[in-house]
Structure 1
Amino acid sequence: MKSFSALALAACTFALSSWTAPAAAQFAKPADAVKYRQAALTLIASHFGRMQPVVKGQAPYDAEAIKNNVKLLSTLSELPWAAFGPGTEGGDARPEVWSDASGFAQKRDAFKENIAKLQTAADSGDLDKVRAAFGNVGASCKSCHDSYRAKK
């Protein structure tokens, strides 16, 4: 039993260390990081966009559906950032992501804080609070895109 516990501990330690490794070490090549972050951001945009008709009053408000969607968005909002490490330049990300890393981190943190506030608003069941928080998330997306995403 002791050897099994030691083996399990070693496996957990290895798994955790692989999650905390530098971004470049998590991807076989920089293009893999670009694909990963683009996929994560596409999912974020999809789930965020699903709420837009409700927020605009074009679809009925289903508090539980919004709450579940925001919960998923909260999880998704954690994903793309590891794929922006040194050596992962490319895609639609402008060079300023890396040359202004602290500014990029501030925008990322503002986005994540606004997602957390959207979760609180969704949990309240109050559509007016959801609308306000939704607008703040959208503004944080736009702010980051304006500064760090290449224009198409």
Structure 2
Amino acid sequence: MNVLATLSLATAIATLSVPALAQFQKPEDAVKYRKGAMTVMGAHFGRIGAMANGRVPFDAKAVADNAALVETMSKLPWPAFAAGTDKGETRALPEIWTEQAQFKESADKFQAEVAKLAAAAKTGNLDSVKTAFGAVGQTCKSCHDNYRKE
């Protein structure tokens, strides 16, 4: 039930996010938005990781549900890295704005790998999930290494 509620919330956010993105009144609103999206995404990615790494029993349906949510969420934070949102309580490095093409490429690669994870999760095959999970994790690490303060 909790996963269903979370998926419903993610769908609502995705549906409403496009008009909302144009309406950030203050840069700190965009920062809060992208932090929230990353936090939710990370929580659900972590649930998949716990199963992929054997810390909790593998549940194919739970992996598929969480991967679908991560895939939806993977599209949300990027527009909130708009000009002027590099100030305040953010761990975003200035390179996001000075290397916009590379940052976008990193985001696109992340989304592509997340789509592969969602597809692998639908198969119910743990080995496929592990492989795809590792690839997504590498894109996360690469982006964090290049564009996030410690």
Query: What band does the TM-score fall into relative to the shorter chain?
Result: 0.7 to 0.9
After TM superposition, give the deviation of residue 20 of structure 1 in Å: 6.5
Sequence identity percentage: 48
Number of the residue aligned with 2:8:
none
1:34 is aligned to 2:31: yes
> 1:58-105: per-residue Cα shift (whole Å, max 9, x none)?
211110111011111111111101101112213110000000000100
Number of the residue aligned with 1:71:
68
| 3-state SS of 1:28 partner | coil
Number of the residue aligned with 1:122:
121
Q: Distance in 1 between matches of 2:72 and 2:136?
A: 15
Number of the residue aligned with 2:140:
141
Number of the residue aligned with 2:101:
102
What are structure 2's unaligned runs of at least 5 residues? 1-14
1:19 is aligned to 2:18: yes
> 1:33-62: per-residue Cα shift (whole Å, max 9, x none)?
011101110111111111222111121111
What are structure 1's unaligned runs of at least 5 residues? 1-15
Number of the residue aligned with 2:86:
89
Amino acid paired to 2:75? E
TM-score (norm 1): 0.82
1:59 is aligned to 2:69: no
Shifted more, 113-122 versus 55-64: the winner is: 55-64
1:45 is aligned to 2:42: yes
Bigger radius of gyration among the two: 1
Q: Give me the CA root mean square deviation.
A: 1.8
Q: Distance in 2 between matches of 1:65 and 1:19?
A: 28
After TM superposition, give the deviation of residue 19 of structure 1 in Å: 2.9
TM-score (norm 2): 0.83
Q: Distance in 1 between matches of 2:49 and 2:118?
A: 15
Q: Which runs of 4+ in 1 moved over 4 A?
A: none
Amino acid paired to 1:109? D
